[in-house]
A and B are shown apart, each in its own frame.
Chain A
Amino acid sequence: MTELSININGEHIKADVEPRLSLADFIRDRQRLTGTHLGCEHGVCGACTVLMNGEPVRSCITFAAVADGSEITTIEGFDQDEPMAQLRQAFHENHALQCGYCTPGMLVAARDIVTRLPDADEDRVRLELAGNLCRCTGYVGIVKAILSVLEQRRI
């Protein structure tokens, strides 16, 4: 067992975890924050994307133990966040989700794009999104939603 001290969505948590436990399983099964989804568990689909110290990581291939001492933000932790509020509204208006399974990871990745790359154009947005798979939407609504938030934030 490894002792873990971690901050998730502003809450300090201490826990004993097996060294092999993934951050995703810790978040989902131990903390019961089930908004973070698992689509592949091998680091390709991006459904499990969360912020670790402000940067997007794939929680399925990050050991919980490695996250010791870090600040984690999951989809449940963005309620006071302006870019996330803009993205949620834009995703809604642009039909950027169907089944909703990829959506939490997609939003976390999208937030990273709109805050890090204010000048991104469509090609760049698509390139940045290439690590987040969506099987339902064909990415049309997602790309449009992100572009619209970039536009809003430029004004």
Chain B
Amino acid sequence: MADGGSVDGKGIGARVLRKEDARHLAGKGKFTSDFKRPGQKEMAFVRASVAHAHIKSIVKPAGYEHAIFTSEDLPGLKPMRALSKLPGYKLSDYPALAAGKVRFAGEPVAVCVADSRADAEDIAQMVEVEYDILPAVTDMLAAKKPDAPLVHDEWEDNIVFETFSDDDFQKIADEATVVIRREYRMNRQAMNPMEGKAVFAEWDDRQDQLMMWTSTQVPHLIRNGLAEFLDLEQRQVRVIAPDVGGGFGCKALLQPEELVAGYLTRKLECPIRWIEDRREHLVTGANCREHHYQITLHATPDGRMLGLDCDVTVDAGAYSVYPFTNGLEGAMAHGNLPGPYNFKAYKCRTQTTVTNKPGLMPYRGVARPGVCFAMEMTIDALAREIGMEAHEIRMKNMVPESAMPFMSIAKKHFDSGNYAKSVEMAVDMIGLEKVRASQGVPTDDGRIIGVGMGSYVEQTAHGTSVFSSWGVAMVPGYEQATVRLTPDGGLELRIGVQSHGQGMETSMAQMACEVLGIDPDNVMVTHGDTGLTPYSTGTYASRSMVMAGGATARACRVLAERMEIIGAHLMQCERTEVSIAGGKVVSGKGEVSFAEIGRVWYLNPDELPEDVDQGGVEVTMGYRPEPDSGAFTYASHACKISLDVETGKVKVLDYVIVEDCGTIVNPMIVEGQTFGGATQGIGTALLEESLYDEMGNPGASTFADYMMPSATDAPMYRVDHMESPSPFTEYGIKGMGEGGTIPTPAAIGNAINDALKQIGAEVMETPFTPRRVRAAIEAARDRKEGEAA
């Protein structure tokens, strides 16, 4: 094996500064909305003004008929249909433009095309749509009632998907003398990458090909979807993701607007651009989270967890998103609820309901922030009940390091790690004892202090076996990478995943450096282009570093062998006498630079040895971890908050993170992902909520009423790392892009309830806004007064 040493410590583990920074700092990043071509037209959508209705008529204003298109004007445009083999899953169509019926406010009804967005919006305003309004169902629990209005007329109810697993609770009945029951709700949010969705479509007559630049995490999946629903051959579609301004899940899906742009560019014979505005983002797409939990934990008086019984409801909105479907949240909630804990009995039922709201999309952490919230809050409730510190309960019940690898009660195959150690370290870092001592001292400003934590384990980079069991239209297989030595000794690296903030142009180059010893500066990483990169299901599920990184390592090793053959020949020595080190082929007799190898292969092939590999200095290799059940990252977060009893306002004072994502490729990037994720978690915990009224009208359509975490809401996080390599992946790397988001709502919720414990109040619904905190305090006071009276 030819793994070369790294150049100046720039391989795995190094804090290499990012190669992608320079262009962004100069304002020279190239995002989809930056594209402009002569003759291009812009789209604006007429969107449903009501949540549930039959469309009676659409009247186009006179003189503008040519610029307005309804579903009837776009024959051959198929509705999106996201397949699933989950047993009992009900399939449904998601039309790109509403056909006869609208199912959520904001659903595209017609599209208007003009030279500028402003002109297109002017036209859209003149379009008259008459609706026959139907009663709407907007609450997931109400949607289950027998008399609830049906979102999809062809179904007999509003339940799209259910899971159920039973267990025998008799076996724990004698011991489980403590029973904790709670009801939790994590409300609906929107993902809000700072760049919304954007699409630029152009038909290339020379190639007979639809060229689509789109702000996506999954260019190859978008290509699949465009080909399927526009009825094109795959060769007729090329999808390119240029710079993408954040994704967090919503850009891992095909959107109706992409289909319409792809259709219209060909029909109208001009480039078509659509740039989602923030209002569209907030009220029509990227809706996420929204879980409800009815949870019962059975335990012993000394804090041993014995059984968990839970009813989970997920609000999937009106439509199933392509290709992930709206079934994954429920399925993943079922499989992830027990978290890092081991207990004897687990019973769970999940019901995913449809409502007259935008389709639910998988957002960073997918289902896990919800289940972690429910589980971790319940553990703290148990701690308060039995008078124990919650971290002691966590440590007592976590799967121990000695048991790894371990098949969890929810059939997750944990690979490695010392979960309890992360708890211990986090407790230490937050200074629990000191906080406890300070809690007894009253402050003059009426604030009370709380401390709380949350732990999770996250399945990352799970592969074929996991996704094929779900039967969705995107099953990851062998991830591939292509490496090519250039004539001057540089390296081109092509990967099918997409980097939109994760810094893969740097971290993947570090991977090549690890194997070949080549300076990352000499490695050009190309990603996000179906025309240039190997097929990949893309960037989601914290998989890119494990999968594309692993494939890169494999491809680089084969390239190394081929370069060694050429290098040995040039140095007149045996193949066994040479190796790759520091970006060169070296032997006892001297060294040959990569540039020299490149020169010989490309420019002077007469100098090549006879046994040269005819595949040359370009290699594509595939990689899949074995087993492919996932690499399990975990972390414990702990925080200290202050709470103003009068106003209900919560402030995060200190926040610590102890995380273990196996072997760390670039600690700077890992920390950045963690801080960013945790801040999104603060949004979930304290600020962000997509409100809908009972008619299904969205109540948060601007950043004035949808509160995003700003610099004043986020603390200066403190972080420490553990490194338990996965035994199953290249270099022991585990995925970590999502994790920061997962335990934050739990940690903050637990801290709030810790502070409120003296009042006897408890919060159980995110976001913990001042109004909700006040309501909890008042309810507790009423209860006490009631008891006294």
- What residues of chain A have their CB less than 8 Å away from a CB belonging to chain B? 18, 20-21, 28-29, 32-42, 44-45, 47, 74-76, 88, 91-93, 95, 97-104, 107, 122, 125-127, 129-143
Is B717's beta carbon under 8 Å from chain A?
yes
Q: Is B27 an interface residue (CB 8 A)?
A: yes
Q: Contacting B708 at CB < 8 Å: which of A33, A34, A37, A135?
A: A135
Smallest CB–CB gap between A111 and chain B, Å?
Answer: 12
Q: How far is the CA of A132 from the CA of B712 in the complex (A)?
A: 11
Q: Are B17 and A135 in contact (CB under 8 A)?
A: no
Q: How far is the CB of B475 from chain A (nearest CB, A)?
A: 28
Residues of B within 8 A of A45 (CB): 194, 278, 703, 708
Chain B residues proximal to chain A, CB less than 8 Å: 17-18, 20-31, 33-34, 36, 116, 118, 192-196, 243-246, 248, 275, 277-278, 500-503, 668-669, 671-673, 675-680, 702-704, 708, 710-712, 714, 716-717, 740
- A99 and B501 in contact, given A40-B703, A42-B278 (Cβ under 8 angstroms): yes
State which of B27, B118, B677 has its C-beta within 8 Å of the C-beta of A75: B27
Roughly how many angstroms separate A146 CA and B301 CA in the complex, as a whole number? 51
The answer to whether B25 touches A138 (Cβ under 8 A) is no
A125 to B710, CA, bound (A): 12
Query: Assuming A136-B246, A143-B711, is B672 touching A99 (CB within 8 A)?
Result: no
Contact of B25 among A38, A74, A107, A140 (CB under 8 A): A107
Residues of chain B contacted by A97 (CB below 8 angstroms): 21, 24-25
User: For A142, what are the chain B residues with a Cβ–Cβ distance below 8 Å?
Assistant: 711
Minimum Cβ distance to chain A for residue B361 (Å):
15
- Within the complex, the shortest CB–CB distance from B684 to chain A, in Å, comes to 13
Q: How far is the CB of B30 from chain A (nearest CB, A)?
A: 8
Q: Which of A32, A74, A126 contacts B712 (CB 8 A)?
A: A126
Complex contacts, B711 vs chain A, CB 8 Å: 125-127, 129-130, 132, 139, 142-143
Q: Give Cα A33 to B24, complex, Å.
A: 13
Are A92 and B702 neighbours in the complex by a CB distance under 8 Å? Answer: no
Would you give 8 A-B contacts (Cβ < 8 Å), ordered by A? A74-B27, A98-B246, A126-B711, A126-B712, A127-B712, A130-B712, A138-B714, A140-B714
Considering the complex, give the chain A residue whose CB is closest to the CB of B191.
A135
B710, A130: Cβ atoms closer than 8 Å: yes
Cβ–Cβ contact A47 & B194, under 8 A: yes
Is A37's CB under 8 angstroms from B245's CB?
A: yes
Whole-angstrom CA separation of A47 from B193 in the bound complex: 12
A95 touches B668 (CB 8 A): yes
Q: How far is the CA of A39 from the CA of B198 in the complex (A)?
A: 12
Q: Which residues of B contact A76 (CB under 8 A)?
A: 26-28
| A25 CB, min distance to chain B CBs, angstroms | 8
- Separation of A42 and B717 alpha carbons in the complex (Å): 30
Interface of A is mostly: loop
Q: Which of A29, A88, A122, A133 contacts B710 (CB 8 A)?
A: A133
Asked whether, in the complex, the Cβ of A75 is within 8 Å of the Cβ of B26, the reply is yes
Instruction: Report chain B residues within 8 Å CB of A129.
Output: 710-712
Most chain-B CB neighbours within 10 Å: which of A32, A42, A132?
Answer: A42
- Tell me the bound Cα distance from A102 to B672 in angstroms: 15
A40 x B278 contact (CB < 8 A): yes
Contact B245 A138 (CB under 8 A): no
Inter-chain contact A135/B192, CB cutoff 8 Å: yes
Q: Which residues of A contact B118 (CB under 8 A)?
A: 18, 20-21
Tell me whether A100 and B502 are in contact in the complex, defined as CB-CB below 8 angstroms, given that A29-B36, A37-B195, A107-B25 are known contacts: no
- What is the CA–CA distance of A102 and B23 in the complex, to the nearest angstrom? 13
What CA separation (Å) do A41 and B33 show in the bound complex?
Answer: 14
Whether A42 lies near B703 (C-beta < 8 A) is yes
What would 5 more interface pairs be, CB under 8 Å, given A42-B704, A98-B501, A139-B714?
Answer: A33-B27, A37-B194, A42-B702, A104-B24, A125-B711
Residues B246 and A36 in contact, CB atoms below 8 Å apart: no
Q: What B residues does A138 contact at CB under 8 A?
A: 672, 675-679, 714, 717, 740
A38–B503 contact, CB under 8 A? Answer: no
A18's nearest neighbour on chain B, judged by CB, is B118
**Bound-complex Cα distance A135 to B668 (A):** 17
B193 touches which of A33, A88, A101 (Cβ 8 Å): A101
- How far is B740's CA from A37's CA once the two chains are assembled, in angstroms? 27
Determine whether the beta carbon of A95 is less than 8 Å from that of B669: yes
Query: Residues of B contacting A143 with CB < 8 Å?
Result: 711, 716
Q: Quick check: A135 and B710 within 8 Å, CB to CB?
A: no
Point out the residues of chain B lying under 8 angstroms from A40, CB to CB. 278, 702-703
Find out whether the CB atom of A135 lies under 8 angstroms from the CB atom of B33.
no
Rounded to whole angstroms, the CA-CA distance of A35 and B245 in the bound complex is 13
Nearest CB on B from A112, distance (A): 14
Cβ-neighbour of B702 out of A44, A100, A126 (below 8 A): A44
Once A39-B195, A133-B708, A135-B708 are accepted as A-B contacts, the answer to whether A103 and B25 lie under 8 Å apart by CB is: yes
Q: How far is the CB of A122 from chain B (nearest CB, A)?
A: 7
Say yes or no: A99-B246 contact (C-beta < 8 A), given A37-B195, A47-B194.
yes
Question: Which residues of chain B have C-beta atoms less than 8 A from A39's C-beta?
Answer: 194-196, 278
Also in contact, A102 and B717, with CB within 8 A (given A44-B703, A92-B17) = no
B672 partner, pick from A36, A38, A141, beta carbons under 8 A? A141
| Residue in B closest to A75 when the chains form the complex, CB atoms | B27
Q: In the bound complex, do residue B708 and residue A101 qualify as a contact, i.e. CB atoms below 8 Å apart?
A: no
Q: Given contacts A40-B278, A42-B704, are A98 and B25 in contact (CB under 8 A)?
A: no
A101, B704: Cβ atoms under 8 Å? no
Asked whether, in the complex, the Cβ of B193 is within 8 Å of the Cβ of A41, the reply is: no
Q: Report whether B679 and A41 are in contact in the complex, using a CB–CB cutoff of 8 Å.
A: no
* CB proximity of B554 to chain A, nearest CB, Å: 27
> Which residues on the A side are within 8 Å of B243 (C-beta)?
99-101
Task: Pick the contact of A140: B21, B34, B275, B675 (CB < 8 A).
Answer: B675
CA distance A96 to B500 in the complex (A): 15
Q: Given the known inter-chain contacts A135-B246, A136-B246, please indicate yes or no for A100 contacting B29, CB distance below 8 A.
A: yes
Interchain CB contact (< 8 A) of B676 among A21, A93, A98, A131: A98
Minimum distance in angstroms from A64 CB to a CB of chain B: 12
Give the residue of A29, A38, A100, A135 whose beta carbon is less than 8 angstroms from that of B24: A100
* Neighbouring A residues of B244 by C-beta, 8 Å: 99
C-alpha spacing A91/B672, complex, angstroms: 13
Whether A35 touches B28, Cβ cut-off 8 Å, given contacts A44-B702, A139-B714, is yes
Docked CA distance A98–B33 (Å): 18
Report the nearest B residue to A93, measured CB to CB.
B17
Q: What's the Cα separation between A34 and B678 when bound, in Å?
A: 30
Complex A-B, nearest 7 residue pairs according to Cβ-Cβ distance, in ascending order: A35-B27, A100-B24, A101-B245, A75-B27, A138-B675, A98-B501, A99-B501
A98 touches B194 (CB 8 A): no
Q: Given the complex, which residues of B lie within 8 Å of A99, measured CB to CB? A: 193-195, 243-246, 500-501
